[in-house]
Amino acid sequence: MTVLPLSELLSIARPGGLAAFNVIALEHAEAIADAAQAADRPAVLQISENTVRYHGGLKAIGRACLEVAKESPAALAVHLDHATSHELVREAVEVGIRSVMYDGSALDYAANVEATARIARWCHERGVHVEAELGEVGGKDGAHAAGARTDPDEAVAFVAATGVDALAVAVGSSHAMHSRAARLDEELIGRLAAKVPVPLVLHGSSGVPDAGLQAAVRQGMAKINIATRLNIVLAEAVRVALAADPELSDPRRYLGPGRTAVRAEVEHFLRLLTSPHTP
């Protein structure tokens, strides 16, 4: 299937939420595509700036994700996640990625608006979907520091000033959580969804329990980003395989179980978000 625009996937996913999963290795991308096909649900393959740094560049991993998406019969998009420079956004567009997230959350509000608006204009001239982030101003942990919350009126002003297509908001989640103990501010999500004229994005979703994710979608959250949970299940499966055979050296025999574990986790989230009204 042709790689689809992220805006189209958001529509396909309704009334459920669109699940977006971060890719670090090829096994992640293959597992996400297979799970999306099995669940018959749209999904997003995301590549973060940290992953680009890990691979020493975007082209190889970006093109690999695009090829996995093109070869899959599932409805998939490829997205650049948490880019902090125009240079990386430009490289993603040149590679063929049609959706990017510019993260100016470490900047003060005025600087975030200015930088995000400039990048959004550049991307829109090329037909590229733009996600941005707004939460705690100046927090060292970014928009998802503990206790950070996005103000609905400020979010409306930010979207109007920047012209972005989607907005990541701080409502109680936090990146890189290993426990699933985060409690979202559901009332705030509802107020944001009622006021902000673009789809809302939840980052740090790995730390939110299943019921919390379904409640977030019920309240109006449109895109749910998941990364850490996939890495946890992959690592656990690899540990089990290596522990079972201390002589094991063939990566296919330990990364294979890791990929299978990631596929099962992705399919779980895809099915979970299909029916957000299920208690």
Domain residue extents for the chain: 6-274
- Whether 167 and 196 have beta carbons less than 8 Å apart is answered as yes
Which of the residue ranges 172-181, 205-214, 226-235 has the most confident prediction, judged by mean pLDDT?
A: 226-235
Q: Which residue reads 């096994």 in tokens?
A: 27
- Whether 222 and 199 have beta carbons less than 8 Å apart is answered as yes
| pLDDT above 90 (res 139) | no
Q: Which CATH number fits domain 6-274: 3.20.20.70, 2.60.40.790, 3.40.50.10300, 3.40.190.10?
A: 3.20.20.70
Q: Which of 143, 138, 162, 157 is nearest to 203 (CA)?
A: 143
CA distance 160 to 109: 14
The mean pLDDT of 120-145, rounded to a whole number, is 75
Q: What is the pLDDT of residues 68-109, one digit of tens each?
A: 999 999 999 999 999 999 999 999 999 999 999 999 988 889
The mean pLDDT of 171-183, rounded to a whole number, is 62
As a whole number, the mean pLDDT across the chain is: 91
- Whether 8 and 22 have beta carbons less than 8 Å apart is answered as no
Instruction: Name the token pair of 20.
Output: 């977006």
pTM of full prediction above 0.85: yes
Q: What is the pLDDT of residue 178?
A: 61
The mean pLDDT of 116-129, rounded to a whole number, is 98
Q: What is the pLDDT of residues 243-252, one digit of tens each?
A: 999 999 999 9
Query: What size, in residues, is the chain?
Result: 279
Q: What is the pLDDT of residue 35?
A: 98
pLDDT band at residue 140 under the 50/70/90 scheme: very low
Question: Catalytic residue numbers?
Answer: 81
The 8-class DSSP code of residue 203 comes to -
Percent above pLDDT 90 for the chain: 79
| Choice between 142 and 115, residue whose per-residue pLDDT is larger | 115
CA distance 206 to 25: 18
Q: What is the pLDDT of residue 276?
A: 60
Q: What is the pLDDT of residue 176?
A: 54
Q: What is the pLDDT of residue 51?
A: 97
CA distance 58 to 142: 23
CA distance 68 to 78: 10
| Choice between 207 and 188, residue whose per-residue pLDDT is larger | 188
